[in-house]
Amino acid sequence: MQNKVIVSVLLILVLILFGCGKSKSSHESYTDIRKPISWGKSSVIFAFADDKVWDYGRLEIFKSLERDFFTTTNEKLFNVQREDISKIKNYYKFANLLFLCDTSSNYPTSQYVKSIIPVQTSSLSDLIPADIIAVKDNWSQNQAVVFLIGKDIETLLLYTFQKSNVIFNIYKDSEIRRIKNLIYKPGFNKEEIEYQMKHYPWHFDLPYQYLTFRRDDENNFVSYLLRVEKHPDRFLAVYWENMPEDNVNKQWLWNKRLELGKNYYEGDEFSPEDVTQEKTHFLSYDGYKLYGRWQNPNHFIGGAFVSFAFYDEKQKIGYLIDNAVFFPEGNKLRALLGLEIISKTFKTNYKGINEKKNKVVF
């Protein structure tokens, strides 16, 4: 009993909202380094639920958490795998854990959850009949644990279905943090960042492993490449264009991405049936997003890409940031997410521009 009370107190102390503590300028990990490192399989969400809860709720849980993302095929960010609560100690070091608890039940999973978070489970009432508790780094580093609790099975399941987007985003945000930590663990490409700040009207936090691939300063284009054996090739490019007025729209993005493919990607192109275009928010900008499958008819290869376009009113510049992946052997989704993480460190860094010479003026 004493151990259960200690665990409960510790758990309450570490309850935090996901996303808190983020810094715009820092890439430090906010994980608890005193705890063991979580094991692999961050693509799996291990679920614990009693039989009746699982039988009634599993289809909606699968639908909610095993979402498809289109790259060159439909890829899932997560797969859900139900496990036996009697073996819970074997899962304390895994990255993603999900618990569903009917507080009126005395079946094993519900009993377990009530034993480790007694305050939360005992406080449910008609006023607050269900709740979601997200815990970061509960048993190990970079871990996401979600408890869904309801005063009875019907309330629990209805609440779970209503909060499907919230639950998914908790795990997605946690995975984004893991990817970000891996990207920046080796450090920064300081030499290239300094070059960007000196020669370009923008810069971003380029990771150490990314090397310059194509540089055309006269035409406002630069791209970077990360190539690691048995992993996806990752391309990150930036194009910018002086614009007295905002001419960035879906057609501009479409045409410019095709132009870049022709001029810098050895003839890469895309077909209307293989891509999607939509409005999006990129950092503080209202912009446009183009994503899907690219192909190169000259080399008989293809891959996945995501392009963002937006206009900086203060600079009077239109931007296109392009993320592309080549990896015939396997999935590309996490590589694209990593490129987007880097892209969203984008910052402007100059006071004006000489339009005739395209030189930065400080």
Residue range 72-119, pLDDT digits in tens: 999 999 999 999 999 999 999 999 999 999 999 999 999 999 999 999
Condensed to tens digits (0 to 9), the pLDDT of residues 295-312 reads 999 888 999 999 999 999
Q: CA nearest 204: which of 306, 288, 316, 319?
A: 319
What is the predicted pLDDT for the residue at 32? 60
Residue 362 has what pLDDT? 32
d(CA 58, CA 53): 8
In angstroms, the CA 351 to CA 360 distance is 8
Task: Collect all residues with Cβ–Cβ distance below 8 Å to 307 and sequence separation of at least 6.
Answer: 253, 257, 289, 290, 291, 320, 321, 322, 323
- pLDDT tops 70 at residue 252: yes
Q: What confidence score (pLDDT) does residue 33 get?
A: 61
CA separation, residue 226 to residues 184, 196, 206, 221, 338 (Å): 13, 18, 11, 17, 11
Strand-strand pairing, 74-76 and 68-70? antiparallel
pLDDT tens for residues 157-168? 999 999 999 999
pTM for this model (two decimals): 0.85
Specify the pLDDT at position 8.
45
Question: pLDDT-derived band of residue 327, with 50, 70 and 90 as boundaries?
Answer: very high
Q: Domain 189-361 sits in which CATH superfamily?
A: Mog1/PsbP, alpha/beta/alpha sandwich (3.40.1000.10)
Q: What is the mean pLDDT of residues 225-254?
A: 97
Q: What is the pLDDT of residues 158-210, one digit of tens each?
A: 999 999 999 999 999 999 999 999 999 999 999 999 999 999 999 999 999 99
Residue-level pLDDT at 349: 87
pLDDT tier, 35 (very low <50, low <70, confident <90, very high otherwise) = confident
* Domain locations along the chain: 2-183, 189-361
In the chain, % of residues over pLDDT 70 = 86
Cβ–Cβ under 8 Å, residues 327 and 303: yes
